[in-house]
Amino acid sequence: MSLELDATAQAKTHTSGPEPARAAGDALPAGMQLGHFRIERVLGAGGMGEVYLATDLALDRPVAIKVLPAGRATGAARDRLIREARAQARVHHPNVAHIYFIGEDDGRLYFAMEYLEGKTLADRVAGGPLEIDDALELVRSAALGLREAERSGFLHRDVKPSNLMLDAHGVLKVLDFGLVAANTDAISDGPVAQTSLAGTPQYMAPEQARGEPIDLRADIYALGATLFHLVSGRAPFVAESVAELASMHATSARPMLPKRGSRRIITAIDSLIARMMAPAPADRFASYDALIGAIELVSSQHTRPGGFWVRLFATGVDAMIVTMVCAAVLLPFDRNAGVGLDLAGLVYAIYSTVALAWRGTTPGKALFELELIATDGTRPRWQQVARRQLVYCLPIVMLDGVKQLVVPADTIASIVLDVLLYSAMFYGFADLAVGSWRRAGKRTLWDVLSHTQVRYRAARRTRSTAGSLLR
């Protein structure tokens, strides 16, 4: 079922599938010229007019021509469409379909756009859910294009699989910019007032469905619904009416993603979609930069988290370095001096905090090509690193310090402290194992509490997204 509001022409500039039906007498005949463009055949239709394959006679290249009905190309609507087309023309990005020309011929207002041969994501997902990494990479590409448009001062307002296309080279293009955008006169950080309801209910943010002012977070919501569709093979909500769909988006619990492959990966993607599709705009990503960073953290094509064994060996190398340094400092003063856990733990905490906050890695982690990042993809702040090290090291340091300095040896209290001390050390190993094998991003408790993640510096790319989708 496809419930469309009067929002946007569905500019299908792809060549797959049968030609859509059209009313007799409405279509422009093949061979007709609009300015220096010759009509070849119809490609698609929508609420704003029909789209044709045409030839640019000046440059001898194929283009897509969208012709607006004569009755709608007048007054304020005409002026708005011209302003929005000019706004889209300012966006130069590989993930945005470009507008080349806007003109008028015999009362017909038309746009000449980039002609794309390929498949929309709606066509692609009709054959079944996409591979998880492919879906993430495509949504990331769409976010890059939407970010560039938002920087130019306008919104899309109809993000969905049929408005995202893979061209013949496997590059994702965002279609139908400008025709439904608002706030194209100037760039503004404030919300955009809606003068008319526009969008597709299956993917529409609750505030957009209510006709409230919107900002980029409404497009992020629709992109989250699109990601759900690509991964699961169906839209998040299905209903028999627009009103029911709008109510479900605003109040109903979103279905969980179907279990596919790694539970840890599915959990991470589900958490990502949950934030993108939060009913309240304030609970979603506040910027495309934050969204893109979050997508990259989930995607194995951009982020490969460090696992149990590599982190264990990296920590062992760092602990060995700290022990050797402490021993070298103490040895000149006392040849019988030993390095206790309290001293080594304190030095380790300081050493790790400085190294991680300054360089994002320690010598042990660098040896295995690991680094620490914040969960938004940036370098962690000093406060995050300090919190992480306190959670990791403080219990062991405090317990051993009390045992060495306060409690007499060979007493019940000393035995109890030994049990607690070894329990704390065992918990660290156990939590590293649990985090590595079960949690999203292979994060430990101290990673979660400090909003950080340990990953490999170099991203692993195992295959071509374009190739896997276009085969």
CB atoms within 10 A of CB 126: 12
Q: Name the burial class of residue 41, with classes exposed (0-12), middle (13-18) and buried (19+) by CB atoms within 10 angstroms of its CB.
A: exposed
Alpha-carbon torsion angle 216, 219, 221, 225, nearest 10: -160
Amino acid identity, residue 342? Answer: D
Of 198, 156, 153, the C-alpha closest to 174 is 156
Of 182, 175, 220, 229, the C-alpha closest to 202 is 229
3-state secondary structure of 457: coil
3-state secondary structure of 192: strand
Query: DSSP labels for 285-314?
Result: -SSHHHHHHHHHHH-TTT--B--HHHHHHH
Non-local (6+) Cβ contacts of 122 within 8 A are: 160, 161, 162
3-state secondary structure of 184: coil
Of 276, 271, 268, the C-alpha closest to 302 is 268
Task: Judge whether 158 counts as a catalytic residue.
Answer: yes
CB atoms within 10 A of CB 40: 16
Residues 226 and 222: their CA atoms lie apart, in Å, by 6
Query: Which residue is catalytic, options 56, 158, 167, 176?
Result: 158
Task: Enumerate the active-site residues.
Answer: 158
